[in-house]
């Protein structure tokens, strides 16, 4: 896991969002994606940047669009208006902005659920894009977190409770070892067509460790 003091890019997207505390420190950069600006407003956060084609914002609440229009008029550098016809999702564009500013840690909120399952899947792929560009990304939900492990070992401190699941994103993930969990495996192989790693559990007094020697894993934690 990365240092809590390391500056991070915080991205608030327009998926399912339950108001929660978002840790913002000096040096962090906050981006709201489209209707994600509504969630930022609910938390009293003025994003450093608002990115989107604003289709979901216009559908969500006309008041939100008026707020965005006012910001565009008085502080235009805070708005990045995208074309509706584009290759990048709003969240992907926000990630690219964060990477261009040198951020190596990304916290994504509101990146799952909502009306569009395709955007949930796209945002999981975005985690992989973050990893392949030399940074670390985490998708946070009300009571959980998603992250990527690729050719590495991920450690979790003692004291965690709840479920942890591990899924292969590559065709094969070899040399998979799970330690300090309810169900352990050593030097095993996971494939992307069989969910063998679902519904494992933390052991509160154990430091959990997940290793994949060759391949890509999606790690899902429900605390």
Domain presence at residue 27: yes
| pLDDT cut 90: percent of the chain above it | 86
Residue 210 sits in the same domain as residue 121:
no
Query: Predicted confidence band at 58 (pLDDT cuts at 50, 70, 90)?
Result: low
Residues 100 and 158 in one domain: no
Say what the pLDDT of residue 60 is.
64
Is position 2 within any domain?
A: no
Distances (CA, A) of 214 to 44, 72, 126, 168, 201: 43, 47, 20, 11, 23
Query: What span, in angstroms and rounded, lies between the C-alpha atoms of 153 and 10?
Result: 24
Residue 138 has a pLDDT of 98
Q: Which has the closest alpha carbon to 129: 31, 214, 16, 216?
A: 216
- Give dist(CA 155, CA 148) in Å, integer: 12
Give the model confidence (pLDDT) of 5-50 as tens digits: 899 999 999 999 988 889 999 999 999 999 999 999 999 999 999 9
Q: Which of 114, 142, 170 is the last residue in one of the domains?
A: 142
Average pLDDT, the chain: 94
Please check whether residues 98 and 193 belong to one and the same domain.
no
CATH label of the domain that carries residue 33: 3.40.50.10240
Q: For 26-30, 31-35, 59-63, 196-200, which range has the lowest pLDDT when averaged over its residues?
A: 59-63
Torsion angle, alpha carbons of 83, 88, 92, 97, to 10: -60
Same domain, yes or no, for 153 and 138?
no
- Residue range(s) defining the domain that contains residue 129: 9-142
Total number of domains constituting the chain: 2
Residue 156's pLDDT is 98
The predicted pLDDT at position 62 comes to: 80
- 90-100 vs 117-132: helix crossing angle, rounded to 10: 20
What are the structure tokens assigned to 100, written together? 């261009």
pLDDT digits (tens, 9 = 90+) for 123-175: 999 999 999 999 999 999 989 999 999 999 999 999 999 999 999 999 999 99
DSSP one-letter string for 173-210: EEEEEEESBSS-EEEEEEETT--TTTTEEB-TTS-EEE
């Amino acid at each position: 896991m990365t240092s809590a003091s390391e500056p991070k890019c915080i991205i608030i997207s327009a998926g399912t969002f339950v108001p929660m505390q978002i840790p913002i420190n000096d040096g962090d950069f906050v981006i709201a994606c489209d209707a994600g600006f509504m969630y930022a407003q609910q938390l009293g956060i003025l994003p450093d940047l608002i990115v989107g084609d604003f289709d979901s914002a216009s559908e969500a609440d006309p008041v939100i669009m008026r707020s965005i229009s006012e910001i565009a008029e008085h502080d235009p550098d805070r708005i990045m208006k995208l074309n509706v016809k584009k290759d990048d999702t709003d969240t992907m564009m926000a990630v690219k902005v964060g990477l261009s500013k040198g951020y190596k840690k990304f916290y994504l909120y509101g990146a799952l659920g909502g009306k569009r399952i395709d955007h949930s899947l796209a945002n999981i792929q975005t985690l992989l894009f973050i990893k392949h560009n030399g940074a670390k990304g985490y998708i946070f939900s009300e009571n959980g977190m998603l992250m990527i492990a690729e050719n590495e070992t991920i450690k979790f401190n003692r004291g965690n409770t709840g479920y942890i699941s591990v899924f292969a994103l590559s065709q094969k993930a070899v040399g998979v070892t799970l330690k300090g969990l309810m169900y352990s495996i050593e030097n095993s192989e996971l494939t992307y067509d069989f969910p063998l790693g679902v519904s494992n559990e933390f052991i509160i007094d154990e430091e959990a460790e997940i290793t994949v020697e060759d391949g890509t894993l999606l790690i899902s934690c429900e605390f």
